[in-house]
Structure 1
């Protein structure tokens, strides 16, 4: 099945982080096994069906975990190295659903209005220049009642010292070192502010035991387009 017809609301911006992309590929594969992220990915995608758009597909680690009732995944990834890796993952014969990897950004999704049943955001809202613009795009491409599934890291709720450290890092070196990532954003607050309803989530610490990093504070949940 081909990807939905492209009708982006805005012009897509070029994204290139070749050094970070190499680092992210290794880190994400290790975290899947050592930090329990694989189980979180499976929970994120559980029960999905129909046409799905995945924003910031990275190196494609979600692809093998989509349930068989998903008919097609349009995986949007702007970074060239990661997109190439994701394209190879999409060609795997082990996948249960067809995946099309396309160039594009969260703020200008190459997807038609109201054309998908669900949008998946997995560790991507932290790095976007304009989260609200991206979430407006999510609402545009979702059918009424469609789901937003999200798995993100963000602000260290209830930990004042760590939250202060996150703010200091985000204002200085963190985005420069990690491909535009911000450690202390509030993804749940952003989703609510964008007009999504029925927002449910749980907080996770990744890794669950061992050292805690500014990026260790995760949320896993879902919301609906009204």
Structure 2
């Protein structure tokens, strides 16, 4: 089976050879960073409609994490286009963080459409090095569809715990590797993952993010495996939930 997977991976690489050449020359990533926000805005529109019920149920208790002053300070890591804004409690103070500055115009649009929130700033930084965000300064941190594209998930979770106040909440939704290693989904995830990463800005469909979360030593972990109601079969395996520092 391993040989079959390797041969199919090689075939996919041959089909995408022009992209691999551009990538090796350092030309693909700068170009894709500019067009990725546009592509993500289109994908998120469809994804949000299909995942709206799951998001609504996940975020419904977010106000419980408000601090002593009753205000809710929220950091969204990998904020992208701001697709989650409509689900946040009215009046919460939102700091947006993303490694790609080209999301700014899409964020502006989402902010204008969600006037129930207070927007603090847009921080351009990587999720594993959020030095501009102070220790214990956030009541809630949100990451959705982020872990698939970061190289070091434990480092990201370490930063999440650093910026959260004690008792703060960490909310997550991530697509992950299929937990059934014998399934056809797993087979095609393995075949297509190397090329998938190239096409989708470093995104991996083989991340076992639930293991990293379980090893991160949060005081409480609420995590569910679900089959997302989306059309892209390889990305259907999801984890969803929240943790408490």
Common topology (TM > 0.5): yes
Unaligned runs of 5+ in 1: 1-13
Q: CA RMSD in A?
A: 2.1
Distance (Å, rounded) in 2 between the aligned partners of 1:87 and 1:105: 20
Larger Rg: 2
Instruction: Tell me, yes or no, if structure 1 residue 215 matches structure 2 residue 232.
Output: no
Superposition map of 1:1-20 within 5 A: 17-20=33-36
Note if 1:200 corresponds to 2:222.
yes
Matched residues in 2 for 1:103 and 1:134: separation? Answer: 15
Is 1:175 aligned to 2:197, yes or no? yes
Which residue number in structure 1 is paired with residue 51 of structure 2? 37
User: Who is 2:189 aligned against?
Assistant: 166
1:103 equivalent in structure 2: 124
Q: Is the 8 A contact 1:47 1:67 kept in 2?
A: no
1:128-163, Cα deviation, whole Å (9 max, x unpaired): 121111111001101112111111110112252322
Q: 1:24 to 1:212 in 2, by over 3 A?
A: closer
Following TM superposition, where does structure 1 have runs of at least 4 consecutive aligned residues deviating by more than 6 angstroms?
Answer: none
Q: TM-score, structure 2 length as denominator?
A: 0.76
**Which structure features the higher share of helix residues?**
2
Q: 1:44 to 1:81 in 2, by over 3 A?
A: farther
Are residue 137 (structure 1) and residue 143 (structure 2) matched?
Answer: no
Match of 2:38 in 1: 22
> For residues 44 and 81 of structure 1, what CA distance do their matches in structure 2 show?
28
- Which residue number corresponds to residue 7 of structure 1? none
Total equivalences in the alignment: 205
Residue 103 of structure 2 is aligned to residue 82 of structure 1: yes
2:224 match: secondary structure: strand
